[in-house]
Structure 1
Amino acid sequence: MQIGMTVGGDVLARPSAPSEIVTDAQQAEKEGYATAWSVHFSRAYDALTTLAVAGNVTSRIGLGVGIVPTYPRHPLALAQQAATAQVFCGGRLTLGVGVSHRPVIEGLHGIPYASPAGHMREYLGILVPLLRGEEVHVAGEHYRVDGGFSVPGTSEVSVLVGALSPRMVRAAGELSDGVVTWLAGPRTLDATIIPTLRTAAAGRPAPRVVAALPVAVTDDPDAARAAAEKAFGRYNGMENYRRLFEREGVASVGDLAVVGTEDAVTTQLARYADLGVTELWPAVYPVGDDPEASIRRTRALLTTLAGP
């Protein structure tokens, strides 16, 4: 299992400037992480533009975004943007896409949140071939595309789907390179997401499973879970995540955080690797009275686990 790193503080509700994301990506490369992952929120910076800049000042690290909402972006327009960003990323870009949440799509964008799984299946059927350099001729329920585009110097972009429900996971397995999950615990990954993905991807290259989770190395696990509730508690009220918590058999986000001493966290992460997670995307968060020391301790362990 590869180890990535979050760039920027937006997932912790600490808004970051695009320049901070670029600096964080450079630091993650120096520390030896396999990938640097940026979120993309509809009320914040454009992640693909920012990662294109990061790609231009890094040389090895993979650069990923999770997730770009699909409804507000025509698949041809998103493919064009991602293919352009890929030029500056030197082939290291991963594009995560997802349907986001009803309050965001309907409330902020004013777009009907209709048929999410069917929408995603049709979207991937256009986006992925375009990112392979193919033309697309589709007259579907949601989109009509007749043609393609050319970006000199680009290369194929790996596409992952932000998927939690079985229908969305099946679409990811059949039409994309895998899934990127947020707050999916071991029970959900083992019983639902990974076997469904592998079955759907039968006959295709082995799918990627990128699991994003809160992580904190600490001697006080109870305090760490309480801190996770403060840092990520907004997800407790979202419908998609409430269903996820029910499947996982937990009450809230704090129960899914990977917390404990260095040995305890290493053991927990090894379990995710054994389940078939191919890459960890840790959302490192502080615990206790010295936030900087807490972050340093967690990153020190993750840097060691990331290896050379």
Structure 2
Amino acid sequence: MKFGLQLGYWMAQPPEHAGEIIVAAEAAGFDAVFAAESWGSDAFGPLAWWGSRTERIRLGTSVVQLSARTPTAAAMHALTLDHLSGGRVILGLGVSGPQVVEGWYGQPFAKPLARTREYVDIIRQVLARRAPVTSAGPHYPLPYTGAGALGLGKPLKPIVHPLRADLPIWLGAEGPKNVALAAEIADGWLAIYYTPRLADMYNEWLDEGFARAGARRSRADFEIAASTQVVITDDPAAEVERMRWVVALYIGGMGAPELNFHAQVYRRMGYEREVDEIGRLFQAGKKAEAAAIVPDQMILDTAIIGDEAHVREQLKVWEAAGVTMLLVGVSDTEQLARLAPLVQ
């Protein structure tokens, strides 16, 4: 099982010492570094800037949002960075949620599965560069002939010859249909709030996708990259306490109450009652109360926290569940140094 460094997205300011952490992660043997985006920093810029200080580590997006850019624009970003990095890019894509898509990007959220399928197909056409890129739509028609069109559009091939036609595309997915789609059309699955105890359920979703006609990969060559917190500490209770706030935010605040994909993930784990109460308190502005009722086990299901012996045992559990890469967040080089022996 490989390790990936998860930078995430920026908060109010760019993170300090990220460049040094990435260089240290490469030296420690991390396989990849990933950057994300929400409605602030983008994912490609940090990888280009900080990734220029590295030589081997792969550069991944986890994830770039479909509605932030057209599929041809996403392909341009990916093929450009792939050339600059010598073929190290992993293009991680995700649909985000309706609050961001409709509230920030001003795009409709409907038909996320169909949009994803069409989006990936267009990107693969660009990267293959076998013929001018076309799409019948309906979500990303090329050439565009709809309302306001001048009728002068023509199919085009990228001017730049992509470095790799098979640049890996991974999909961020949380629900059964989206995970199955990842197994069918992508090269990997970016899993958030993964828990090994539900591995059988995840495998059913994945197997559905692998079994579809024309599936791109099989389980043997498909990557499962799970984002988690890996913390080596003699005081796990303090780390659990710190993480309550993050879990409460994602359950109660990162998505509309009517449609919050993160909350649905925890409901599938069996925390229906807790999710409802956390959401109710958070939406009422009682954020501290919402965090306080997050059960310890809700955190420990999706994180690895404890002394080094415990962490090593848990890593075996996650690998046995089918995870091929752990994406871990690291705040400084000191924390990374504690994780480095686990990567070897």
- TM-score between both structures, scaled by the size of structure 2: 0.77
Partner Cα distance (1:8, 1:54) in 2: 14
Deviation at 1:150, TM superposition (A): 3.4
Q: For 2:266, give the aligned amino acid.
A: F
Contact residue 182 and residue 188 of structure 2 kept, 8 A = yes
Shift of the 134–260 alpha-carbon distance from structure 1 to 2, 3 Å rule, reads farther
Alignment of 1:222-261 (within 5 A): 222-237=237-252, 238=255, 239-250=260-271, 251=274, 254-255=299-300, 256-261=302-307
Tell me whether 1:281 sits opposite 2:327 in the alignment.
Answer: yes
Contact residue 63 and residue 93 of structure 1 kept, 8 A = yes
Q: Which shifted more, 170-179 or 123-132?
A: 123-132
Structure 1: gaps spanning 5 or more residues: 286-291
Aligned length: 293
Partner Cα distance (1:153, 1:57) in 2: 22
Shift of the 195–147 alpha-carbon distance from structure 1 to 2, 3 Å rule, reads farther
1:142 to 136, 139, 151: 139
Partner Cα distance (1:129, 1:272) in 2: 35
Match of 2:312 in 1: 266
Match of 2:280 in 1: none
Contact residue 213 and residue 281 of structure 1 kept, 8 A = yes
Contact residue 52 and residue 86 of structure 1 kept, 8 A = no
Q: For 1:215, give the aligned amino acid.
A: V
1:51 to 43, 47, 59: 47
Deviation at 1:117, TM superposition (A): 1.4
Q: Could you say which structure has the larger radius of gyration?
A: 2
Tell me whether 1:68 sits opposite 2:64 in the alignment.
Answer: yes
Deviations 1:238-292 (A, max 9, x none): 310110001122455634222111111221221111111111001246xxxxxx7
Match of 1:288 in 2: none
Deviation at 1:6, TM superposition (A): 2.4
Name the SS for the 1:71 alignment partner.
Answer: helix
Partner Cα distance (1:283, 1:8) in 2: 8
Contact residue 9 and residue 35 of structure 2 kept, 8 A = no
Deviation at 1:154, TM superposition (A): 2.4
Q: For 1:305, give the aligned amino acid.
A: L
Contact residue 87 and residue 163 of structure 2 kept, 8 A = yes
Shift of the 258–24 alpha-carbon distance from structure 1 to 2, 3 Å rule, reads same
Contact residue 236 and residue 306 of structure 2 kept, 8 A = yes
Match of 2:3 in 1: 3
Q: Which shifted more, 77-86 or 178-187?
A: 178-187
Q: For 2:308, give the aligned amino acid.
A: E
Shift of the 283–40 alpha-carbon distance from structure 1 to 2, 3 Å rule, reads same
Match of 1:130 in 2: 126
Contact residue 3 and residue 325 of structure 2 kept, 8 A = yes
Structure 2: gaps spanning 5 or more residues: 143-154, 275-293
Match of 2:282 in 1: none
1:163 to 162, 167, 173: 173
Deviation at 1:152, TM superposition (A): 4.0
Q: Which shifted more, 22-31 or 69-78?
A: 22-31
Tell me whether 1:183 sits opposite 2:183 in the alignment.
Answer: no
Deviation at 1:231, TM superposition (A): 4.1
Identity %: 30
Contact residue 161 and residue 179 of structure 1 kept, 8 A = yes
Higher strand share: 1
Partner Cα distance (1:230, 1:91) in 2: 38
Shift of the 114–20 alpha-carbon distance from structure 1 to 2, 3 Å rule, reads farther
Shift of the 52–284 alpha-carbon distance from structure 1 to 2, 3 Å rule, reads closer
Deviation at 1:212, TM superposition (A): 0.4
Name the SS for the 2:134 alignment partner.
Answer: strand
Contact residue 67 and residue 97 of structure 1 kept, 8 A = yes
Deviation at 1:195, TM superposition (A): 3.6
- TM-score between both structures, scaled by the size of structure 1: 0.86
Deviation at 1:21, TM superposition (A): 4.0
Shift of the 123–224 alpha-carbon distance from structure 1 to 2, 3 Å rule, reads same
Deviation at 1:172, TM superposition (A): 1.2
Name the SS for the 1:137 alignment partner.
Answer: coil
Contact residue 7 and residue 25 of structure 1 kept, 8 A = no
Deviations 1:68-103 (A, max 9, x none): 000231101110111001111111111110001111
Name the SS for the 1:7 alignment partner.
Answer: strand
Q: For 1:119, give the aligned amino acid.
A: R
Shift of the 243–134 alpha-carbon distance from structure 1 to 2, 3 Å rule, reads farther
Contact residue 173 and residue 201 of structure 1 kept, 8 A = yes
Tell me whether 1:303 sits opposite 2:340 in the alignment.
Answer: yes
Deviation at 1:232, TM superposition (A): 4.8
Contact residue 34 and residue 306 of structure 1 kept, 8 A = no
Q: Which shifted more, 19-28 or 102-111?
A: 19-28
Aligned alpha-carbon RMSD (Å): 2.4
Partner Cα distance (1:229, 1:261) in 2: 20
